Chains A and B, each alone.
Chain A
Amino acid sequence: MAEERTRREILGKFAQFPCAAMLLACCGPLASLAQASERRYNAKDHYYGMGIQVDKCIGCGRCVEACKAENDVPREPFYFRTWVERYQIRAGGEVKVDSPDGGIHSFPPTEEDKDVLRSFFVPKLCNHCDNPPCVQVCPVGATFKSQDGVVLVDQDYCIGCRYCIQACPYGARFLDPRTSTADKCTFCYHRITKGLLPACVEACPTGARVFGELKTLASPLRRMMRMSKLAVLKPSLNTEPKVFYSDLDGEVR
């Protein structure tokens, strides 16, 4: 974006001179052509993942709201592409997890409870597994891992058999009641292919969500992965999730 602005500024300065305006008229279409070609998206050059810094999440639910608005996720009944869970771990080892309306309106206050040892929020979404069980079970090939590592659903080809919803160990999928097809997080595929961030990352006020390239060393995600103690959800299932959590409590599953 910075590059673009400087170009704009330069062109703006050019426009101050009448003769330069002629030059601009000739070069304008050329410049936009060049811009289009450098923007052309090649899925093979990318491999996406997400990092979630649990200790930064404040449970405001703005990611849930942004996801629903961006992806036209049904408001009611409460289906979610991403949601936030509140964990409360008591002294006896009892774990209470709640997520009222997916956390979209933040969370109700808890009663003063001296027994709660620790409490925190965990945002969840499709883990975009490298070894996705949902893709394995789809009988028609309507859900698949694209070349850039994003697990997508073919809305026109899905037969709504719900096998993938059952197969997902993270509960990340739902059946859209309007189309009777499976739906889930796409990492906002329409945004990332245009160089934008997923809506939940854009909306996160504390930077708890980090999105970026997994295979490029110079990416915010790789930096976060270098700097943090990483964990994934349910590693024993060998799904190889591409959503990495930092400072994740052992009780989270």
Chain B
Amino acid sequence: MGVSKLPDQVVRLGVLALAAVAATLYARHRFVPATFGELGHYRGAAVGAAANRKIQYAGAAQCAECHDDVAGVKAASYHRTLSCEICHGPAARHAEDPEAQKPVVPRERGAACLYCHEYLPSRPTGFPQIIERLHNPVKPCIGCHNPHDPKPSQVPESCSACHAQIYRIKAVSHHANLSCETCHTVDARHRQEPRAFLPQKPTAREFCGRCHSREAKSPPEIPRIDLTTHGGRYLCWQCHYPHFPES
């Protein structure tokens, strides 16, 4: 009993089966990528490809290695949790070669600050926010706030910090040289809690008359009226705007 004794059809089937196995192996070798199945049902090399992308954000620790002065100031400020590259943009190339790329410096009003500090009711309670339209229009944020050491709203030094519109119109009027306190008595606490402590306004015609009546002991160039006949039953500011009286 040798191989030659095997029935002919079995030999032929065997050859065919061998050819099929060889073809399968060849196809597998040809079509399945080299590292497929190394780590699982995927190309092992794909993990390396994902890990070898280029880094764009260097990270705050990298920045602090050279800019330790700014990092030190920032570390003690309300912006201590902020990474430098939030405002200055991705700077990995700058970290490698400081000359190759200069990070952006957002100096204009609203260039970087308003993403976080514009008022949105959905923001968590207590997060410092402003309404950009009303908050010292036109002035750049960095004129008053140091972005590396921002301070919560300070007590304003002058009335113009909040009442800018009145301040500007008064500045070109005949009342330019009068301080606000000439006519308004302002409680010192108004600067901390503006709504709780409202300043006083004049209530009577006699108040304006202290300068503008015929009997007033004010400089002679100031226009005079007769308080008893001028304006009848109206109060002065119902016809004249005190912050721009010539209008």
Contacts and interface: CB of A to CB of B under 8 A. Distances in A.
B65 A142 contact: no
Contacts of B47: 43, 146-147, 152, 189
A13 interface: no
Interface stretch (B2-10, B112-120, B165-173, B179-187): B112-120
Main secondary structure on B side of the interface with A: loop
B42 interface: yes
A205 B50 contact: no
B122 A59 contact: yes
A56 interface: yes
Interface in B31-80: 33, 36, 39-43, 46-47, 49-57, 59-61, 65, 79
B90 A189 contact: no
Given A141-B43, A144-B41, A207-B81, A197 B120 contact: no
B46 A62 contact: no
**Contact count band on A:** 35 or more
A154 B46 contact: yes
Interface in A110-146: 110, 116, 119-121, 141-146
Interface string A34-63: 000000010100000000000111111110
Interface string A193-209: 11011010011011100
Contacts of B53: 71, 189-190
Nearest to B60: A202
A142 B122 contact: no
A191 interface: yes
Contacts of A19: none
Interface residues of B, number: 41
Given A109-B119, A157-B33, A190-B55, A205 B86 contact: yes
A185 to B, nearest CB: 11
A87 B122 CA distance: 8
Nearest to B119: A109
Given A106-B118, A191-B55, A58 B127 contact: yes
15 contacts: A41-B51, A58-B123, A69-B56, A86-B122, A88-B122, A110-B121, A144-B40, A190-B52, A190-B54, A191-B55, A193-B51, A194-B51, A202-B85, A203-B83, A207-B81
